[in-house]
Amino acid sequence: MAKQKTSMVAILKSTGAALGAYLLLQMLLALMLVKGALPETRLFTAQAVSGFLAILPGTAYFARRSELGTMVFSLLTALCFAAFLALIGLLCYDGIAGTTETVIRLLAAAGGGLTAGLLAGKGKKQKRRKKRAAVRAGR
């Protein structure tokens, strides 16, 4: 039970880090849009990329310290991130439009979680190999 509780806390921390990064990226996009550095036609692409990039660092950081496994942890974090985005859309606006742009933004966030799981998993395997090599060399 204690492991499940710590895993849920880690998932919420990771989701919070992703939401914070997403908010900062959205403010940067708004600034770029106002200053004219980003044309309005490219805003959708930039928002999808920001959803992808926002979830990567926090999820990869916390996934390595999770008992759930890196891929499961990363996908659960991506699911929570997408759920929070949908909840914010429902609470702040009249509703969520079921357009392809909305689906693509949520899929970009899921892709960020998947990529974070793949990247975080590589670090653990390399550490295990190094430890095994050190043990073998010591014998």
Residue spans of the domains in the chain: they are 2-138
User: What is the per-residue pLDDT across 100-113, written as a single tens digit (0 to 9) for each?
Assistant: 887 888 888 888 88
Distance CA 31, CA 29 (A): 5
Question: What is residue 94's DSSP assignment?
Answer: S
Percent of the chain with pLDDT over 90: 16
User: What is the per-residue pLDDT across 8-56, written as a single tens digit (0 to 9) for each?
Assistant: 788 888 888 888 999 999 999 999 999 999 898 888 899 889 989 998 8
Distance CA 113, CA 95 (A): 25
Distance CA 49, CA 39 (A): 15
**36, containing H or E segment:** none
